[in-house]
């Protein structure tokens, strides 16, 4: 496969996965901002969180001056000038798909093209009229549909592999960042491991719901969510599809199947990361300190992404 094609496929699915994760981020923050804030303001901190996670808070402040609920939501979701907005991610995904429309199935192309056309319609309407929760649901649904069309129609070849590489690199990064941000925001509260405060409960369950992992959690732990168990599930469980370990398992398996020898550094890196997670317990993670551990892994995942890039996507 052409390196450029592989790159377009990879970024197409990365951007789409990113749009989905941004919607998940937005969903959790928006629903928490509607809770009583115990004297912490009008939920603005909460709404600023997605901007912090994506590193766009500064740019937002420069352009809009103050934290303002509606403007923040709009900036994060629909702003065509904000390259990290959901709008721009869908645009980029569609643009990558357009470049490789000969290599994806008609079902996939029609799906992603329709998403983009509808996105433009929603941007014209504005979030106020469309509805915040409905919008987040819509983004997730379009992403699910695309995944379904991909899974159901594309040949199991290199194209499928690069599409999936993009998904799991992006998802691994997003899960790490979401967990990190939530943990940060809880501050000292988070360390009271058997946190029984209402606030902790809602924080963690909102995160689990945003990651579609609430059901898995109740089934696995049969109790109110707390920091250690949430972290264990989202980092180390191989059977929870949005966990870090699940993503690395997929990445390692996909990389091994790719042809050519130029991928060895990336293959080795993925296998090592996967093995480390497999033999790590949550006590070790907490001993390092959750934030430090997460920061280290965000870096590792980024390096894996770079290794994939230099091995396949810009090959000479």
Q: Applying CB under 8 A, which residues contact other proteins?
A: 1-6, 98-99, 101-103, 106, 109-110, 113-114, 117, 158, 162, 258-260, 262, 312-313, 315-316
By beta-carbon proximity to other proteins, the closer residue of 3 and 37 is 3
Let me know: does 201 contact 218? Beta carbons within 8 Å.
no
By beta-carbon proximity to other proteins, the closer residue of 11 and 109 is 109
Min dist. Cβ of residue 2 to other proteins (A)? 5
By beta-carbon proximity to other proteins, the closer residue of 105 and 303 is 105
Measuring CA to CA, which residue among 192, 77, 203 is closest to residue 130?
Answer: 77
- Residue 306 CA: distances (Å) to CA of 147, 148, 173, 193: 24, 28, 13, 36
Q: Give Cβ neighbours of residue 149 (< 8 Å, ≥ 6 apart).
A: 105, 107, 108, 111
By beta-carbon proximity to other proteins, the closer residue of 67 and 93 is 93
Min dist. Cβ of residue 232 to other proteins (A)? 36
Min dist. Cβ of residue 146 to other proteins (A)? 14
Measuring CA to CA, which residue among 311, 194, 230 is closest to residue 28?
Answer: 230
Measuring CA to CA, which residue among 237, 245, 109, 94 is closest to residue 168?
Answer: 245
By beta-carbon proximity to other proteins, the closer residue of 7 and 243 is 7
Min dist. Cβ of residue 226 to other proteins (A)? 44
Measuring CA to CA, which residue among 289, 63, 279, 252 is closest to residue 168?
Answer: 252
Min dist. Cβ of residue 313 to other proteins (A)? 8
Min dist. Cβ of residue 162 to other proteins (A)? 8
Distance CA 111, CA 133 (A): 22
By beta-carbon proximity to other proteins, the closer residue of 49 and 108 is 108
Per the listing, tokens 């993925």 go with 270
């Amino acid at each position: 496969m052409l390196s450029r094609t592989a790159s377009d496929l990879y970024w197409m699915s990365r951007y789409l996965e990113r749009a989905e994760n941004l919607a998940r981020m937005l969903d959790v923050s928006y629903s928490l901002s509607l809770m009583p804030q115990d004297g912490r303001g009008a939920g603005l901190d909460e709404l600023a969180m997605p901007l912090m996670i994506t590193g766009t808070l500064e740019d937002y402040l420069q352009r809009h001056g103050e934290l303002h609920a509606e403007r923040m939501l709009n900036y994060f979701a629909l702003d065509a000038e904000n390259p990290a907005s959901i709008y721009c991610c869908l645009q980029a995904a569609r643009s990558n798909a357009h470049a490789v429309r000969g290599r994806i199935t008609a079902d996939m192309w029609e799906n992603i093209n329709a998403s983009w056309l509808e996105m433009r319609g929603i941007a014209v309407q504005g979030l106020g009229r469309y509805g915040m929760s409905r919008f987040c649901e819509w983004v997730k649904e379009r992403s699910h549909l695309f995944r379904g069309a991909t899974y159901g129609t594309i040949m199991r070849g290199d194209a499928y592999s690069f599409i999936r590489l993009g998904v799991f690199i992006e998802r691994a990064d997003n899960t790490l960042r979401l967990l990190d941000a939530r943990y940060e925001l809880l501050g000292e509260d988070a360390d009271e491991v058997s946190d029984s405060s209402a606030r902790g409960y809602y924080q963690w369950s909102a995160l689990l719901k945003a990651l579609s992992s609430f059901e898995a959690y109740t089934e696995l732990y049969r109790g109110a969510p707390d920091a250690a168990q949430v972290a264990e599930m989202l980092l180390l469980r191989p059977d929870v599809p949005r966990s870090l370990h699940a993503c690395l398992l997929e990445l390692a398996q996909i990389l091994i199947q790719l042809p050519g020898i130029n991928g060895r550094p990336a293959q080795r890196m993925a296998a090592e990361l996967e093995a480390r997670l497999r033999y790590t317990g949550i006590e070790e993670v907490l001993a390092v300190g959750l934030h430090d551990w997460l920061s280290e892994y965000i870096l590792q995942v980024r390096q894996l992404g770079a290794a994939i890039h230099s091995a396949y996507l810009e090959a000479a």
